[in-house]
Structure 1
Amino acid sequence: MSPPNTTTPKVISPSKLAHVVLHTNKFDAMTRFYKFFLNATASYENEQLSFLTYDEEHHRIALVNMPDLKDKDPRHAGLGHMAFTFDSLHDLCESYKARKALGIEPGWCVKHGPTVSMYYQDPDGNTLETQVDSFDTAEAANEFMHSPEFAQNPLGTDFEPEDLCKAVDGGVSELELRVRREIGARGSPEDFMQIMAKMATAKVGA
C-alpha cells in the first residue's frame, strides 16, 4: 500500500481497543486460565464461545472453540503479545501473588523503562504482559523512549518478582521502584534468545 497523499481523506482513529479474539484447540483450559488470570467473568458462554469481561466493556477477550486447529507454532509470524495495565506496583504484585497461588507464574520480568512488566503465557502459548507505567505522563515516557539510554537498551533490565514485591510490601517508594537500573547495551539476537528461554519457564497453572 502506498503512503497517503495530501488529497487522501484522513482516517478517523478509533476511540479505544475493544477486545481480542483467540481461536483455540484447548477451549476448556483457555477459558479457565483467562477467568483466573484476569479475574474475568463470562458475559456469554456456551460450548463453542466464551466472551469474557473484567471491566465496563461487555467483553475484552473472546475465545472460540476450534478443536481441529494445529497447536501454535512460535516460528510463525503473528501477534507478539497482549498487554494489561495496572494502576500501581502494589496491584501488579498482589495479582502476581494471586496468580502464583494458582500455579500461574511469569517467565520474564523486566523494567523496560516506560513500564515495569511481567510476561506470562496462556495454555496455547500466547504471551501476556501485565504492566505498570513507569512515568506519570505519556510525554515523560515518550521523552525517555527518545533518550540515548533507551536507544542503547530498548529491552530493559530484568528483575525478580519476589524481590520487587517484598520491596513494595516493605514500603519502598513506588516512584523509586519504577526506575530501571541501566546495564548498557541490550538488544542483540542473543539477548532475544535468552528472553525466549526465560519465557519457556512460564507456568500456566493446572
Structure 2
Amino acid sequence: MSATFSNPGKMVIKPVHLAHVVLKTQVEQFQPMVEFYKTFLNATVTYQNHVVSFLTYDEEHHRIAIGRFPHVTPRVPTASGLVHIAFNFASLHDLALAYLQRKAHGIEPFWCVNHGLTTSMYYRDPDGNEIETQVENFESPEEATSFTMSEKFAENPIGTDFVPEDLIRRIEAGEEDKEIKKRVETGKRMAPLPIF
C-alpha cells in the first residue's frame, strides 16, 4: 500500500541526493573561507553578499554555502559536531593530480589513508573544518559492504597511511588502479585517528 497524506505510514521517503553543506564562520574569516573553497574545489561563486556566499563546482546552484556570523567563536576541535565533508573523485589519477594542484596553492593534506573502502586525503579549511577527498576502491556498493563485514575491516576499520608521492609514482609507473587501491594490511588499528 502506498503512503498518502491521510495515511503516511512510518517509513520516511529517502532524499534523492545530498544538496549542499552550509558552514558558519567569523566575520574576519568570511573572505578567506570563500577563497579557500573557490581554490580547493575549483568552485564558482553563484551568489555573494556581505553575509553569505554560495559556491558550486557542478550543476547544483550551490554545494557549499559560507555564512558570516558576528558572534561565532573559533572552532573547538574537541567539541561534538560534524567531523568532515567528503568529495568523491572519478579516479586515482584525478585525486593525485588535484593533490598536486592544491599543493601548488599551499594547501596540503594532514592525513592520507587507504581505508579499504576508499583511498583518501584529508585537509583542513581556514576554520579547521575537515575535508576528505577520496576515490572509491570497490566497483560496487555490494563489494564495499562485503569488505566492511570482513575480518580485515574488523581488525582495522581505520586503514593504512600512505605518502601521496608514492601514489603518484605508482600511477606514473603504469600500475593498475585496482592494485594501487588494495589496502596494505598492517594489522590491528583502532585509534587514535589523526583528525584533531
* Shorter-normalised TM range: over 0.9
Match of 1:38 in 2: 41
Determine helix, strand or coil for the equivalent of 1:21: strand
Match of 1:9 in 2: 10
| C-alpha deviation, 1:167, in angstroms | 1.3
Match of 2:76 in 1: 73
Number of residue pairs the alignment of both structures matches: 187
Q: In the TM superposition, what are the counterparts of 1:1-206 in structure 2 within 5 Å?
A: 8-25=9-26, 26-188=29-191, 191-192=192-193, 195-196=194-195
Counterpart of 1:18, as a letter, is A
| C-alpha deviation, 1:147, in angstroms | 0.2
Determine helix, strand or coil for the equivalent of 2:167: helix
Determine helix, strand or coil for the equivalent of 1:64: strand
Taking the aligned partners of 1:133 and 1:13, their CA distance within structure 2 comes to 23
Alignment deviations for residues 142-194 of structure 1 (CA, whole Å, 9 cap, x no partner): 00000000000000000001110121122111111001100110003xx33xx
Alignment deviations for residues 23-71 of structure 1 (CA, whole Å, 9 cap, x no partner): 0011011000000000000111122110000001110000001143100
Counterpart of 2:21, as a letter, is V
Taking the aligned partners of 1:177 and 1:97, their CA distance within structure 2 comes to 18
Determine helix, strand or coil for the equivalent of 2:62: coil
| C-alpha deviation, 1:8, in angstroms | 4.8
Match of 2:3 in 1: none
TM-score scaled to structure 1, two decimals? 0.88
Residue identity (%): 52
TM-score scaled to structure 2, two decimals? 0.92
Runs of 5+ unmatched residues, structure 1:
1-6, 200-206
Runs of 5+ unmatched residues, structure 2:
1-7
Question: Which stretches of structure 1, 4 residues or more, deviate above 3 A after TM superposition?
Answer: none
RMSD: 1.2
Match of 2:5 in 1: none
